[in-house]
Amino acid sequence: MDLRIAHLYPDLMSIYGDRGNVIALEQRARWRGIDVETRSYTAGDAFDVDWPDLLFFGGGQDQGQDVVGEDLQGPNGDALRRAVAGGAAVLAICGGYQLLGHEYVPETGPAIPGLGVLDVTTRAGKRRFVGNLVVRAVGPDLPGMICVLRATLVGFENHSGRTYLGPAARPLGRVLVGHGNNGEDKTEGAVQGKIVGCYIHGSLLPKNTWLADQMLTWALVRRHGEVTLAPLDDTAEAAAHAAAIKVARSRP
Ligand code: GLN
């Protein structure tokens, strides 16, 4: 088996260690003997619709989102929508998550239209949500998710955006520590088909390995049919997860 990862806008949308998610996906695939190729695409590049199995879209400042938003209004936007319709899995963090939705309205400046592949809308608030974030995943009532019952996710958040879910999107989890989507409804993130968006930086996947394996499984299905990933020894990752939750709970 081989895996193709497209890293979207790494020069404009990769803050707070988000690139670590690509490294984690590559390494967890390679540890299972799966060849991996990662290609980067940025504004103005011609996006290859049929190539990627998995799209990664990191976070970014409002300024970067402006440039990316414009690029998404062009042929790359259509190409990304077709790649998603063609079965590519998507993981998006913070600013990338916001731009998968209908629009992101920053505190200053015009609204930035999003890709519209995730039924969410984001509006900036006056106060930034900054700090540790712990989430209880709402699986297994998320169709097709191999979520471990009552699994948790941990990392940190830094955003002004408040995200609200429409009927087609399901929350990824419930907030235990932190603000999450909007600091009001206790939801965090969104899942729709094989698209996962969330506000968890850190980077997310190295210490939340069940979600990494979920994304890999969804990505590999596209060209390889049903796959069951061999378990890995996640002792270190589990310890990092537990330690991060302890810190987050000690400093709510
Ligand atoms: N600029 C967006 C916001 O402030 C996203 C920030 C981020 O990606 N960390 O909400």
Distance 138 CA to ligand 1 centre (A): 24
Tell me if 63 CB under 6 Å of ligand 1.
Answer: no
Q: Is 140's pLDDT higher than 50?
A: no
Query: 232-247: per-residue pLDDT in tens?
Result: 999 999 999 999 999 9
**In the predicted structure, residue 185 carries a pLDDT above the cut 50:** yes
High-pLDDT (> 70) share of the chain, %: 94
200: tokens are 């968890």
> Is 252's pLDDT higher than 90?
no
Sign of CA dihedral 69, 75, 81, 84: negative
In sequence order, which residues have a C-beta less than 8 Å from that of residue 76 and are 6 or more positions away? 41, 43, 45, 46, 47
d(CA 120, CA 101) in angstroms, rounded, equals 5
Separation between Cα atoms, residue 84 and residue 108, nearest integer Å: 30
Buried/exposed code over 207-236 (b: 16+ C-beta within 10 A; e: otherwise): bbbbbbbbbbbbbbbbeeeeeebeeeebee
The answer to whether the CB of 94 is under 6 A from ligand 1 is: yes
